[in-house]
Amino acid sequence: MQQIPSVPRVGVAALVVFKNKVLLGYRVTQHGNGFWGFPGGHLEFGESPEDCALREAWEECGLRLRNISFYALSNDVFTDTGKHYITLHMRADVDDPTITNQEPDKHKDWQWFAWNNLPQPLFLPITNMLNQKLIRPEGL
The model scores a pTM over 0.75: yes
Backbone φ, ψ for residue 56 (5° rounding): -65, -40
**DSSP-derived pairing of the beta strands 36-37 and 40-42:** unpaired
Q: Is 41 helix (H, G, I), strand (E, B) or coil?
A: strand
Is residue 13 within a helix (H) or strand (E), and if so which, with residue range?
A: strand 9-18
Domain 9-139 has CATH 3.90.79.10: yes
In tens, the pLDDT along 18-71 reads 999 999 999 999 889 999 999 999 999 999 999 999 999 999 999 999 999 999
In tens, the pLDDT along 122-131 reads 999 999 988 8
Show Cβ contacts of residue 17 under 8 Å, excluding neighbours closer than 6 positions: 23, 91, 92, 93, 94, 140
Residue extents of the structural domains in the chain: 9-139
Backbone φ, ψ for residue 50 (5° rounding): -65, -45
